Structure 1
Amino acid sequence: MGDVWEGKTQGRSLSEEEQSRLSRQDERRVNEFKANKFQREAQKHWDLFYKRNTTNFFKDRHWTTREFQDLLPSSDDSHGTDSPRPTLLELGCGVGNFVFPLIEEDTSLFIYACDFSPRAVELLKAHSKYNEDHIKAFQCDITQSITPRVPDPGQKMDLVSMVFVLSALRPCDFDVALRNVCDCMKEGGVLLFRDYAVNDMAMVRFGPGHKIRDQLYLRQDGTTSYFFEIEFLRDLMTRAGFKVLHLDYIQRKTVNKKENVDAERLFVQGRFLKSTKIIVK
C-alpha cells in the first residue's frame, strides 16, 4: 500500500534522472492552439477513449472503503425501513469500476453515478449488476449545474466521491466545478477526493511534446491531466464552500508484473465538509 504522509506540504523528492526528464519536457511544449482545441473537445476524446477500451481499461477500485470510511455501512441504526437511504454521487463514474465493487460490499448507500462521456454511461447501464433499486446513472458535465441532471428531482447528496476527476478538467473550470459539487450536496455532506499530485510518476514519465504548461499535460489519447499541490487544492476547496477535514499527500506503490514496472505513485487525498457557516471571500 505504501505510506501516508500526513500534513506533508511537499511531495516526494525526485532523483537527478527524474529532474532531468522534467527539464526535457520544456524542450517542446504543446502549442496553445492545439491545447485549447483538445480541451474544448474533451467529451469527444473521452467518448473515443471508451469506444476503444470499453470496460477493459481501468481496474475495479476495491480500495475505496479502506481509504474512505464514510462509504462503510453506518453503525447508526436510525435509518429504519421507512427512513431514506443515505445518498452518494460518484462523479466521473466511467464504466462502474468504483460503484460496482461498492455495491458488492453491501453498502447502505443509494448511489447516483454520472460521467461526462455518454458512452461511458451507456456501458455502465449495460453492466449485469446495474439495478436502479441501488444505482441510477446519468450523463453530466460538472462545469454546468449538477442538481438539475440528477434523475430524482431536488435530491441532494450526503456524500460525493471525486476520484481522478478534477485533474481531467481545464484549470479555468476548477472553481466553477467545485462550486457546482458543493451546491448539489446537503448541509453537512462530505466530499471524498483523490487525484494526481505533482511529481507523481505519471507526470515524470511524460516526454517532450506533452506538456501544456506547468502541471498540465496532454495525453496520447487526447485527454488532459493536471497534477495538484496541496495548498492550491486547499484554496480551491475553501473558495468553493468546503471546510477541509483532512488533506494529505499519499504515496502508493503500483506493480505491473506483465511489464515489470514497479512505480511510486503520489496522490492528493482528502475529505471536505460542506458548511454554509464558512465565509468565502
Structure 2
Amino acid sequence: MDAFLYCCDFSPCAIQLVKDHPNYDDSVCHAFVHDICEEVASFPFPPQSLDVILAVFVLSSIHPDRIQGVVNRLSTYLKHGGMFLFRDYGRYDLSQLRFKKEEVHDLFANAGLEEVQNLEDRRLQVNRGKKVAMHRVWMQSKYRKLYPPSPS
C-alpha cells in the first residue's frame, strides 16, 4: 500500500517535534505549519486529492464562528468517497461546552458530507491517586464526501 501523510499544526513547535522524531521520513510524510482558519492560505496539495482527513481535538480549538468555514474548506480537499474522521470534546465534558451530536451532524452535512457514524462516547474516569471521578464526553464521527450525481 502506497501512502503519503500530510500533517499540519498551528504550532511551529509541534511540527518541529514531528520532524525531529527519528522515524520521520519526508518521503512518506510532510509536516507543515498551517492556520486552517486562514481562508487564503494554500495547502501543499490540490483540492479533491485526499482520501482521509483526521481532525482529533482540532475543531474545539477554533472559535465557534469559524468552525463551519474550516470544515467547508477542508472538505474541498477530500476525493469523492473520501472520509473526514472527527474526534473532539462533547457537550459537558468536564467544563467544556463543546459539540452536541446534532451540531456535529449539521456541521458536516452543511459541508456536503454524508454521515457514516456519529457517536457520543461517555465514560467515567477515576483518578484513584487523587480520588477524583471525571465524567468525560467525546464525539467520534465519520463523514464521507459524496460522489457527484451521474448525468442522466
Common fold, TM-score beyond 0.5? yes
Instruction: Give the aligned partner of residue 11 of structure 2.
Output: 117
Task: Choose the corresponding residue for 2:32, options 138, 144, 157.
Answer: 138
Separation in 1 of the partners of 2:84 and 2:77?
11
Q: Is the contact made by 1:116 and 1:141 (CA closer than 8 Å) also made in structure 2?
A: yes
- Asked whether 1:201 is paired with 2:94, we answer yes
Instruction: Give the aligned partner of residue 101 of structure 2.
Output: 230
What residue identity is the alignment partner of 1:194?
R
What residue identity is the alignment partner of 1:158?
D
- Asked whether 1:189 is paired with 2:82, we answer yes
Q: Residue 142 of structure 1: CA displacement?
A: 1.1
Structure richer in helix, relative to its length: 1
Q: Residue 200 of structure 1: CA displacement?
A: 1.3
DSSP 3-state at the match of 1:240: coil
Superposed CA deviations along residues 38-96 of structure 1, whole A, max 9, x for unmatched, are xxxxxxxxxxxxxxxxxxxxxxxxxxxxxxxxxxxxxxxxx5xxxxx2xxxxxxxxxxx
Instruction: Give the aligned partner of residue 240 of structure 1.
Output: 111
Instruction: Give the aligned partner of residue 164 of structure 1.
Output: 57
What residue identity is the alignment partner of 1:200?
D
Instruction: Give the aligned partner of residue 154 of structure 1.
Output: 46
Instruction: Give the aligned partner of residue 140 of structure 2.
Output: 269
The normalised TM-score by structure 1 is 0.48
Q: Residue 136 of structure 1: CA displacement?
A: 1.2
Distance 1:147 1:238, change over 3 A: farther
Q: Is the contact made by 1:244 and 1:271 (CA closer than 8 Å) also made in structure 2?
A: yes
What residue identity is the alignment partner of 1:198?
R
What residue identity is the alignment partner of 2:32?
F
Q: Residue 149 of structure 1: CA displacement?
A: 2.2
**Percent identity (aligned):** 30
DSSP 3-state at the match of 2:46: coil
Separation in 1 of the partners of 2:78 and 2:140?
19
- Asked whether 1:178 is paired with 2:49, we answer no
Q: Which has the higher contact order (CA 8 A, sep 6+)?
A: 1
Separation in 2 of the partners of 1:159 and 1:145?
21
Separation in 2 of the partners of 1:167 and 1:139?
18
The structure whose Rg is larger is 1
DSSP 3-state at the match of 1:267: strand
Instruction: Say what the alpha-carbon RMSD is for the aligned residues.
Output: 2.3
Q: Which residues of structure 2 form unaligned runs of 5+?
A: none
Separation in 2 of the partners of 1:132 and 1:146?
25
Aligned residues: 148
DSSP 3-state at the match of 2:37: coil
DSSP 3-state at the match of 1:247: strand
Q: Residue 197 of structure 1: CA displacement?
A: 0.9
- Asked whether 1:251 is paired with 2:122, we answer yes
Structure richer in strand, relative to its length: 2
Superposed CA deviations along residues 223-250 of structure 1, whole A, max 9, x for unmatched, are xxxx111111211111111111110111
The normalised TM-score by structure 2 is 0.85
Separation in 1 of the partners of 2:38 and 2:130?
40
Q: Which residues of structure 1 form unaligned runs of 5+?
A: 1-78, 80-84, 86-108, 204-214, 216-226
